[in-house]
Structure 1
Amino acid sequence: MTEKLFSLPVVNQISPYLSLRQLGELPVLVVSHPKVRAAVTLQGAQLIAWQPNGEKPVIWLSEKSAFAPGKAIRGGVPICWPWFGPAGEPAHGFARNQPWTLSAHDENEDCVLLTLELASNPQTKALWPHDFTLFARFRLGERCEIELEAHGDYQATCALHSYFCIDDINEVEVSGLGQPFIDKVKDGEPGTAADGRQRYAGRVDRIFTQPEDCSLIQDKAGQRVIKVYHHHHSDVVTWNPGVELSCSMGDMANEGYQTMVCVETARINAPMKSAVEQPARLATTFRVRKKR
């Protein structure tokens, strides 16, 4: 899927390293830089590719996603805001389904910088009554930084719902999660991970409520470690649908669960609180290290 993104026809060459292209029915910003390849859809300000030079793709994206206006994209890093999960309609909030605008961009020898913006409008007001302005900022280089900044006067739950490419879910372990968790597979039953680690023998959907500031995805089959740093967070969510749920999902291949894992920077149990002249923030940073 990643190779397809970078072979799409260029609609507009915005700058030497940044172009606008079309993926299905969606406009997508494509970064082709000596140190990195990346892509962000204008719908949802959603990162759908990040691949430092010399590395395999880091971000997982389903080829069965619709890539159509108003349809959630399966994969990448959806911005789940202003609620996480089924707290309202649509699930995981409306930010990921709304068209954002590119409000600023810059580039240098190390990275490309993007800022996308979404403001409250009649569509969002029909779903949620608050006035707001959101900024999603990306630093795309050998490391990937994503920051969400929320202006207004309200509180919201949120997650940067990051999907990562791995070689074999049966050989993946995520550490740095902390001990207590809420098990969503078991209807919110509390649990404890004695070693702060998670393995994936079947369907997993857990909210870790006392996580460390960095989660390590040990991709043993892929011979690399993906470091996921969390900023301004209260929780870290990890998810893999397992075989049965994967087979039932229309936007994921039956075997899709085998090559992805979600490790999500979140504010769920301690919502983001935005106030006038005091915006709330949630951010994450990704790095990759090859195993030797």
Structure 2
Amino acid sequence: MSEQFFTLPVTKQISPSISQSQIADLPLLVITHPKGRAAITLQGAHLVSWQPTGQKPVIWLSSETAFEPGVAIRGGVPVCWPWFGPAGKPSHGFARNLPWQLTAHRENDSVVNLTLTLKDSEETRKYWPHAFTLHAHFSFGDQCSIELESHGDFETTSALHAYFEIGDISEVKVEGLGQPYIDKVANGETALLQGPLTFNGLTDRIFTDPEKESLIVDPVLKRTLSVKHQGNSDVVSWNPGAENSASMKDMADDGYKTMVCVETAAISHSQISTAAAPAKLAIVFGIK
């Protein structure tokens, strides 16, 4: 799926490593660098691809997703802000459905850094009454990192809802999730995980005392992905399973087989942003 991003016509060359293209109806930033390549839609500041040089893609993207203005992208790393889940409309907040602006970038032989910015507007105030400035800082090198930084005077829940490419959901396991967890499939019951998390059908768990690093152990692709969490209160792991995957119009029937979500989140404890102290939430991932 992601290969198409790197063969699109360039509409604007921003720097030696950064160009702008168009995917269907959405502007796309394309990063091509000796360390690897990546793609981010300006809608949602949404990372849709990251592939270190010489490695298989790390980020999963649905083959059925729509690249349409105002329509959420299925896969990649959605920015869920200023709320997580169905706490308001649209679900997972408005930040992932609105256009952002590229406000800073720099690069050297080791890394490419970009900042995309979303500010309050007449459109955002339809959903949420607060003035804000939200930055998404991206870094692409040996690892990929995304940091949300929110300025203003308000309280939020949020997540960096990362979808990772795997070989086979029935073979993968996730370590380092912590204890306990809220099982959203079992009506919000609290439970303890015995050993690593494995997947057999719909899985949706919020780990409320997570470790700082989760590991996605993938025997099929013969790799382990490290996912580090910063500024969070929770880590979420999700896979829709076969039945839900088949019912989702933006996911192939078998899409669930090659993806797993391990998300850095602030859900059980909301974040407070003030003018003096912006709230920050970050995810850092790579091949271990």
TM-score range, shorter chain: over 0.9
Unaligned runs of 5+ residues in structure 1 are: none
What pairs with 1:67-106 in structure 2 (closer than 5 Å)?
Answer: 67-106=67-106
Sequence identity (%):
58
Native 8 Å contact 1:150 1:280 kept in 2: yes
Q: Deviations over 1:178-210 (max 9, x none)?
A: 121011112211111133x21001110000001
Aligned to 2:281: 282
What pairs with 1:184-199 in structure 2 (closer than 5 Å)?
Answer: 184-195=184-195, 197-199=196-198
Aligned to 1:212: 211
Q: Deviations over 1:54-76 (max 9, x none)?
A: 10000001121110100000000
Q: Deviations over 1:146-182 (max 9, x none)?
A: 1000000011000000000001000010010112101
Measured in 2, the distance between the counterparts of 1:203 and 1:54 equals 33
Aligned to 1:226: 225
Matching residue's letter, 2:238: W
Measured in 2, the distance between the counterparts of 1:133 and 1:173 equals 37
TM-score by length of 1: 0.98
TM-score by length of 2: 0.99
Matching residue's letter, 1:8: L
Name the SS of the counterpart of 1:129 in structure 2: coil
What pairs with 1:53-202 in structure 2 (closer than 5 Å)?
Answer: 53-195=53-195, 197-202=196-201
Measured in 2, the distance between the counterparts of 1:92 and 1:288 equals 28
Name the SS of the counterpart of 2:85 in structure 1: coil
Measured in 1, the distance between the counterparts of 2:107 and 2:269 equals 35
Return the offset for 1:231.
0.3
Matching residue's letter, 2:98: Q
Cα RMSD for the two superposed structures:
0.7
Aligned to 1:236: 235
Measured in 2, the distance between the counterparts of 1:73 and 1:187 equals 27
Native 8 Å contact 1:36 1:111 kept in 2: no
Aligned length: 288
Measured in 1, the distance between the counterparts of 2:87 and 2:230 equals 23
